[in-house]
Structure 1
Amino acid sequence: MGNRWIFDGHIAGIGTLSGLRAVIGVWQASPFGPFADVMVQLPSTQRILLAPTPEVADFVATTYTFDEVRVINVDVSLEPGTLVVDAGPLTVNARTGGRTALGLALRAVPRSLAVRPGWLRAVSPLAGLLSPGARTSGTAGGGRHESYGVTDVHRISHADVSWAGQSAGVLTAVRPPVTFGFSSVPAQPGLARVLTTVCDLAPDG
């Protein structure tokens, strides 16, 4: 059995009118301790990773695909109703709202089942039908396999986003889907509770 890395926390997906899309990871528990990182796809399609340490940057850049990696201070505050990000060129001030229809459906699945890699492999095709571009299980970079165990989703109702000091425009759907890996976040801007499992070998569930 190969190495296994487990990340427990939240993922936020945000789209803007300018075409900038951001995927924000807020990890309360991980092999690297608590941290936050941001994947940004610019309107030009350029993919940029903003990571807080060289170790995090190396792991994430091996697992996903980027055109540029920046190691910078990534400050994220996640509180009930708010998400605030200050990460070099990117700032986000977002409001979170009620649970989405997908979140309601996910709450009906016991967490012990919902985060199992074997279950996530089985339901991945269904996830793609419910949310085009999204998958729960697939092949990652570096010869790794990755599973996303999402157990809840709340909508993001408003976000002020700027890049390099310029407004990115009002909050919109995450379209086109981001292309960092085998899966995109759902099109509806949202904050997901997630347990991510990354393995050197395909998990046995």
Structure 2
Amino acid sequence: MHPPADDHTAVPPPDRAWRFRGHIAGLGTAEGTRVVLGHWPRSPFGPFADVMVERPDGHRLLLAPTAEVAEFVGATYQFDEVVLVPVDVRRAGPRWQVAAGPLELRLVVGPRTGLGHLLRLVPAPLATSLTWARVTGPIARLLLPGVRTIGSAGGGRLEWYGARDVRRVVTARVRWDGADLGALRPVHPPTRFGFSSTPARPSVVAAVTTVRLPVAS
């Protein structure tokens, strides 16, 4: 478990590239809600987790643990509503349990995918670089509809994803305000929070997400 960090002023590094290291879990439900969990043990804001939710009617919510995280993520992606709630992630082997305000999520992570095996062969410095994101972008676009590796993070910022591993989500149970949202389904249609969705197949991706700030004028 990684408790959310208290609000504090995160100072941009000299290269103005803020890196978030952890996991992104994406899944859909029979009811139509799609959920994207970001679990970041290492980030400029300390350890934290946040959840992006798109409801069947297209309403997009961010569930964020602190005002600082909400401000940064809310400026990076697009939401119709931002809610400050504790976001608690507990992991016991392949089993993940998430509680975030109205959301309750339990999932079981399964085997590594073929893509996951390939990604683990790429050296970390290359896999997380902007150059690699540009090279692999067309391949990701072809093989994983809705997935992009690089794009705008708003406000003149550039964002890119460096995937390091992919594992399937084999089972999941999602409840919203106590109501069960039904069986596990693909992330379809793709989520509309930013320039990229998660893979359609429910999965957990080990990733380094980099957001490079523009040079101050």
Fold agreement, TM-score > 0.5: yes
Find out whether 1:13 has 2:26 as its counterpart. yes
Aligned-pair distance for 1:154?
A: 0.6
The match for 1:62 among 39, 50, 75 is 75
Aligned-pair distance for 1:80?
A: 2.2
- Residues of 2 paired with 1:121 and 1:83: CA distance? 32
Find out whether 1:136 has 2:149 as its counterpart. yes
The match for 2:113 among 100, 103, 106 is 100
- Residues of 2 paired with 1:28 and 1:39: CA distance? 17
Alignment correspondent of 2:3: none
Aligned-pair distance for 1:141?
A: 1.7
- Residues of 1 paired with 2:108 and 2:197: CA distance? 21
- What's the secondary structure of 1:134's corresponding residue? coil
Residues 43-82 of structure 1: pairs in structure 2 closer than 5 A: 43-82=56-95
Alignment correspondent of 1:91: 104
Aligned-pair distance for 1:38?
A: 0.2
Aligned-pair distance for 1:142?
A: 2.2
- Residues of 1 paired with 2:164 and 2:15: CA distance? 26
Higher mean C-alpha deviation, range 73-82 or range 43-52:
73-82
Alignment correspondent of 1:112: 125
- What's the secondary structure of 2:44's corresponding residue? coil
- Residues of 2 paired with 1:132 and 1:78: CA distance? 29
Find out whether 1:197 has 2:210 as its counterpart. yes
Preserved CA contact (<8 Å) 1:15 1:172: yes
Q: Percent identity?
A: 51
Alignment correspondent of 1:185: 198
- Residues of 2 paired with 1:195 and 1:158: CA distance? 25
In structure 2, what residue type is equivalent to 1:150? Answer: A
In structure 2, what residue type is equivalent to 1:49? Answer: L
Indicate the RMSD between aligned Cα atoms, in angstroms. 1.3
Q: Any unmatched runs of 5+ in structure 2? A: 1-13
- What's the secondary structure of 2:45's corresponding residue? coil
Aligned-pair distance for 1:118?
A: 1.6
Alignment correspondent of 2:6: none
In structure 2, what residue type is equivalent to 1:113? Answer: L
Q: Any unmatched runs of 5+ in structure 1? A: none
- Residues of 1 paired with 2:146 and 2:56: CA distance? 18
Alignment correspondent of 1:174: 187
Deviations, residues 49-102 of structure 1 (Å, cap 9, x unaligned): 000000000000000000000011110113321111100000001001100122
- Residues of 2 paired with 1:100 and 1:109: CA distance? 15
Total equivalences in the alignment: 202
**TM superposition score normalised by structure 2:** 0.90
